[in-house]
Amino acid sequence: MIAVITAVAVIGVISVLIGVLLGILAEKFKVETDPREAGVRECLAGSNCGGCGYAGCDAYAHAVVFEGAAPNLCPSSDKNKIGEVMGVCVLEKARQVAVVKCSGNCSNTRDNYVYGDETDCRVAYLAPGHGAKKCAYGCCGLGTCASVCPYDAIKIVNGLAKIDREKCMACGKCVSVCPNRLIEIVPADAPYTVLCSSRSKGKDVKAACDVGCIGCGMCARVCESGAISVENNLARIDYTKCTGCGKCAEKCPCKIIRFNGKS
């Protein structure tokens, strides 16, 4: 019993002494920090997604206060509060969202083979034909993008990645992990997007998938503002020119140009 008490007493006394000494030292060598840095940091999400281009939320808050970084780079932050902390008016940056440019789910795309139970698209991509689906450009549907999303905005629905536009903060993490480069960051107010990335010839696309771009060019012909071009058998919309008339979506024989929000 006495041994226990001595042990506790010795450790206790030493710890208290150390605590007091460290406290005094910390007070003596205090480093002045800018309260604005903590204020800005509080307005950020804290998920360290890196969408702003800095190492994390702490680094971005530091950059806003001391390096003059733009205060509106974080889409999930409260801009008014950051403005109050910094004493400036912060304008909302045009919101962006990620879009998966593929429509081929399990029911409208045919498979080359059964791949087995791979759980990472980057592994499946190494297999012949870039995964089990007949289309070499399509979504593998194994959810690597969903697993890296810090905002839980991506779900795999019927073998195809779906992005929740409300939750997406356009950080770009999914863009960089997708082996097929299917995901693109587009303006949130872009009315129409081409939901296919296949650069195969029309006949091959049809053989693989019911909802693939065959590169017929119908959309480019009906577009009045010249926003659509077809390159490498794939239609592409220039969002700066698109007026949102919707003629392309009407004409598209494969129905892969779709109005956003109803995909």
Partner 1 sequence: MSFLTTLFLGIISAALVNNVVLSRFLGLCPFLGVSKKTSTALGMGAAVIAVITLSSAITYLIDHFILRDKLVYLRTIVFILIIAALVQSVEIILKKKIPSLYKALGVYLPLITTNCAVLGVAIDSAQKNYTFAETMIYSVGTAVGFLIAIVLMAGIRERIEHNDIPESFKGMPIVLVTAGLMAIAFFGFKGTIG
**Interaction site with partner 1 (CB under 8 A):** 6-7, 10-11, 14-15, 18, 21-22, 25-26, 29-31
Three-state helix/strand/coil letters over 19-62? HHHHHHHHHHCCCCCCHHHHHHHHHCCCCCCCCCCCCCHHHHHH
Q: Which residues of 178-203 are buried (b: 16+ CB within 10 A; e: fewer)?
A: bbbebbbbbeeebbbbbbbbbebeee
Measured between alpha carbons, how far is 150 from 126 in angstroms, rounded to an integer? 26
Shortest distance in whole angstroms from residue 63 CB to partner 1: 15
Measured between alpha carbons, how far is 210 from 155 in angstroms, rounded to an integer? 22
Shortest distance in whole angstroms from residue 41 CB to partner 1: 18
Shortest distance in whole angstroms from residue 232 CB to partner 1: 32
Measured between alpha carbons, how far is 77 from 89 in angstroms, rounded to an integer? 14
In this complex, which beta carbon is closest to partner 1, that of residue 29 or of residue 68?
29
In this complex, which beta carbon is closest to partner 1, that of residue 6 or of residue 119?
6
Shortest distance in whole angstroms from residue 79 CB to partner 1: 30
In this complex, which beta carbon is closest to partner 1, that of residue 60 or of residue 137?
60
In this complex, which beta carbon is closest to partner 1, that of residue 59 or of residue 188?
59
Nearest to 208 by CA among 117, 137, 123: 137
Shortest distance in whole angstroms from residue 173 CB to partner 1: 23
In this complex, which beta carbon is closest to partner 1, that of residue 14 or of residue 207?
14
In this structure, the number of other CB atoms found within 10 A of the CB of residue 210 comes to 15
